[in-house]
Amino acid sequence: MRGIAIKNVLLGILFLAIVTFQFITVPSQRNAPPPDATVIQLWHGWSGEYADALSEVIAEFNRTHAAGWNGPASPSILAKSLYMPSGAGQDIKFFISSAGGVPPDVIVADGIRVATWASLGTLQPLDERMKAAGIGEDDFWEPCWHQCRYAGRTWALSAAADPNFAMVYNKHLFRQAGLDPERPPRTLAELEDYCDRLTTYRDDGRIEVLGIMPTYGAFGANAVFTWGWAFGGRFYDDETETFTPDHPRIVKAMEWILRMRDKYGGSRNLKAFQAGLQEGSQHPFYIGKFAMQLMYIADAQNIAKFAPSLEYGIAPMPGPEDGEIGSGWIGGWTIGLPRGRRGNDDAAFELVRWMTADPHGTAYMARRMKLLPAYKKSPFFDEIAGNRILEAYYGILQNARHVRPVSPASMSYIDELNRAMSRCMEDIMPPREALAEARERTQEALRKIRERQPREMP
């Protein structure tokens, strides 16, 4: 008797579960796409407000790609976006999905990853599709184009040119220090002089306001790239696949960074200062902790939102007189088609094209996501007159000559440069030695990759 009772109870629970499940799933079926729509999935690494902005971009894509968007017979495309934390997490999820044969239809990648991903065979070359769509080299800013090219083919298209860096400065603090707020420093000597005058200390000797921290804004490896190029350094030779992080000018840049560190109380004092800093609305520049700072385009555009009363100027990056004044390099996001996806490639490429090389798409995306298109012909560039932030970054974009090395060993390079920076900042090794070790280790990593992957891809 008892056994039967328990059985009945279990059956009852099962029944209830099925009924409940039905109710849970019904509403989502209402939003189901029209049966003939091609559904494509995009993976990206944008979070917070940028993720919200991306949803708007995707909604606009879907709106403009309803049935009949490309001739009466064309079915609608329904794009869906999925957030994958950027960095290692993104690599892992993308690679596992690729290895398992179920990658997303479209993937957003940090530009530095394209060569690595391509060399591992996880991306499709886009050249033929681009030819058919009439897209080519001339449509993009040169560095943006360059970082998508590997082994003679194009593996992704740049959706965002990230011109690094403009220097923002706090006019109020300039005035307080007796400096002309309309005349930001141009040369390195001027920068140091301004920095001396702008830095103030508390009674106990801790830093109150810092003139500039060369390793903030551009962090770790990016600081090495930024100042290394400003000093006239060369990081990589494409022809011979040689990494040169211990180029004499880069060593000099690193020595300068360390000199600046020691000037303001050394590593410990700076770290204590840095430990109190936060991002977002409490960004140290917004709250007047930095008088000057190298800044990403998105952070600069957020000044208006988080610190509307801040009086600031924006200028090209200072540099040594025998190096580059107003030096710039391009990073940014690229979009590609993973290999191994079946069937939806045409629709997927349409999304790539729309986000990277379509007049309406690129302008819409740039407006929402606070970035500059890599697509030279985007009408967005006609909209920026009068916006001094965008104008400043547009200036950098037009003049930027550098892009981080495009090599299957780029990820190792970034890692080793981070390590070298950390070792120098901790006085574990002098710059020349630390950078030489970065060269050896990266070159060795490339040698290992080349052992099994020839330079020319099949």
Task: Choose which of 38, 170, 293, 412 interacts with another protein (CB under 8 A).
Answer: 412
Q: Is 219 helix (H, G, I), strand (E, B) or coil?
A: coil
Rounded to whole angstroms, the Cα distance separating 77 from 349 reads: 11
Nearer to another protein, 204 or 382 (CB): 204
99 near another protein (CB under 8 A)? yes
User: Which conformational region is residue 303 in: left (phi greater than 0), alpha (psi within -120 to 50 degrees), or beta?
Assistant: alpha
419 near another protein (CB under 8 A)? yes
CB of 268 to another protein, least distance (A): 6
Environment class of residue 48 by beta-carbon count within 10 Å: exposed (0-12), middle (13-18) or buried (19+)?
exposed
Nearer to another protein, 10 or 99 (CB): 99
CB of 353 to another protein, least distance (A): 27
CB of 121 to another protein, least distance (A): 5
CB of 316 to another protein, least distance (A): 30
38 near another protein (CB under 8 A)? no
Nearer to another protein, 16 or 92 (CB): 92
420-429: long-range contacts (C-beta < 8 A, 24 or more apart)? 420/224, 420/245, 420/254, 421/215, 421/220, 421/221, 421/223, 421/224, 421/254, 422/220, 424/254, 424/257, 424/258, 425/215, 425/258, 425/261, 425/267, 426/267, 427/267
CB of 426 to another protein, least distance (A): 4
Binding mask 286-325 for another protein (x = CB under 8 A): ----------------------------------------
Task: Choose which of 97, 122, 334, 442 interacts with another protein (CB under 8 A).
Answer: 122
450 near another protein (CB under 8 A)? no
Rounded to whole angstroms, the Cα distance separating 401 from 398 reads: 9
202 near another protein (CB under 8 A)? no
Dig out the tokens for 305 from the structure: 């939102």
Task: Choose which of 295, 411, 435, 438 interacts with another protein (CB under 8 A).
Answer: 411
Which amino acid is it at 334? Answer: T
Task: Map the footprint of another protein across residues 102-121, applying CB under 8 A.
Answer: 120-121
Kindly report the number of other CB atoms within 10 A of residue 290's CB atom. Answer: 27
Contact, 380 vs 363, CB < 8 A? yes
268 near another protein (CB under 8 A)? yes
Residues whose CB falls within 8 Å of the CB of residue 56, separated by 6 or more in sequence, listed in order = 368
Task: Map the footprint of another protein across residues 210-239, applying CB under 8 A.
Answer: none
Rounded to whole angstroms, the Cα distance separating 83 from 379 reads: 28
Binding stretches for another protein (CB under 8 A): 87-88, 91-92, 95, 98-99, 120-122, 268, 271-276, 411-412, 415, 418-419, 422-423, 425-426, 428, 445, 448, 451-452
